[in-house]
Amino acid sequence: MRPFRYVRASDPDAAARAVAANPRAKFLAGGTNLLDLMKEDVERPDELVDLRRLKMTEIKPLRGGVSIGALATNTETANHPLIRQGYPLLTMAIVAGASAQLRNMATNGGNLLQRTRCPYFYDTAMPCNKREPGTGCGAREGLNRMHAIFGWSEKCVATYPGDMANALYALDATVRIRGAGGRERTIPIDEFHRLPGDTPEKDNNLQHGELITAIELPRSNFAKNSYYLKVRDRASYAFALVAVAAALELDGGTIRQARVVLGGVAHKPWRSREAEAALAGKPASEESFRRAAEAALEGAKPLAQNAFKVELGKRAVIRALMRAGRLV
């Protein structure tokens, strides 16, 4: 591990100022991703600004919805009564991730910003445009079973590995951000992560030095009928091959509106507006869910080793919707 300076931030503005002032500084939250990457020599910050003493841990009602502190842990968030009752999809997604020990350390802000699990990204002997722009993509013609089937570019075919964000996309979350000088802004979650394009080194639309302070959820009509399904190689410590965050608002047996977000298939959580449109106004039935699954996977472009994700994705969408609609 390379030497670095350690600074403990006393308030959000001081934290944002410290990182903004040094292009090689990074925020440190739970450290469960960043420290691993530093030990692998993938991330090389020369200064860490520790956020853990900041009071951004509150989970509280906000305008009919809820505000979730960026430094609340994944465990605190998943177990909070406001989340369990109002947003069970978020609880299901969080507990599908990592392990109990990791969720006790991992924070919500850090979870949103976790980096890809592409093995070439972790191996500094291999080419990787995300780690070192211009070196090439090892996975494009290499081992790409875990990789993207939507939205990839010739520069990068990696997937976003997180679970929590898939639920946040389905729940129309907003990310609250504070920059140096106290400037605040919000980003709708749909615009938070990026597709790789020509700049795969950029995972998201945060500027250097911008601090996530909270994640805000609007009032939700999906609490009764939602489900998070994660399909993976083994039941724990494994990232999704395909995940589905499914949510339905029902009027009797008819779907008023739906959300279908796929994880493990793209560089960001992949919201399928095609599947959602196919479901709106239709009966909550297996037949409707089959049509939605076809629509969700319609434009998939698999790589050499991951064509199986197309059929797997369809079956996962149907199963998640069946569970959300309480038909199984």
What residues make contact with ligand SF4 under the rule CB under 6 A?
116, 118, 120-121, 128-130, 137-139, 156-158, 200
Bridge partners of 12? none
240/258 with CB nearer ligand SF4:
240
Give least dist CB 108 to ligand SF4, A.
Answer: 24
Give least dist CB 195 to ligand SF4, A.
Answer: 12
Give least dist CB 237 to ligand FAD, A.
Answer: 5
Give least dist CB 285 to ligand FAD, A.
Answer: 31
C-alpha to C-alpha distance for 54 and 6, rounded to whole angstroms: 15
Cα–Cα separations (whole angstroms), residue 94 to 165, 247, 258, 269, 299? 9, 16, 20, 14, 28
Q: Are 265 and 150 in contact (CB under 8 A)?
A: yes
Q: Which two tokens stand for residue 263?
A: 């994880």
* Angle subtended at Cα 128 by Cα 297 and Cα 272, rounded to the nearest 5 degrees: 15
Pick what 248 binds: ligand FAD, ligand SF4, none; C-beta below 5 to 8 Å, kind-dependent.
Answer: none
User: Of 228, 239, 270, 289, which one interacts with ligand FAD (CB under 6 A)?
Assistant: 239
Q: Which two tokens stand for residue 177?
A: 């951000």
Give least dist CB 106 to ligand FAD, A.
Answer: 3
Pick what 220 binds: ligand FAD, ligand SF4, none; C-beta below 5 to 8 Å, kind-dependent.
Answer: none
Burial category of 92 from C-beta neighbours within 10 Å (exposed 0-12, middle 13-18, buried 19 and up): buried
C-alpha to C-alpha distance for 194 and 200, rounded to whole angstroms: 8
Residue 33 makes contact with ligand FAD by CB under 6 A: yes
Q: Which two tokens stand for residue 4?
A: 């670095």
Pick what 316 binds: ligand SF4, ligand FAD, none; C-beta below 5 to 8 Å, kind-dependent.
Answer: none
Pick what 138 binds: ligand SF4, ligand FAD, none; C-beta below 5 to 8 Å, kind-dependent.
Answer: ligand SF4
Q: What is the DSSP string of 80-118?
A: -HHHHHH-HHHHHHHHTSS-HHHHHH-BHHHHHTPPP--
Binding mask 90-119 for ligand FAD (x = CB under 6 A): -------xx---x--xxx-xxx-xx-----
Pick what 113 binds: ligand SF4, ligand FAD, none; C-beta below 5 to 8 Å, kind-dependent.
Answer: ligand FAD
Give least dist CB 24 to ligand FAD, A.
Answer: 12
Specify the amino acid at residue 289.
F
Footprint of ligand FAD on this chain (CB under 6 A)? Answer: 26-34, 36, 51, 70, 97-98, 102, 105-107, 109-111, 113-114, 162-164, 211-212, 237, 239
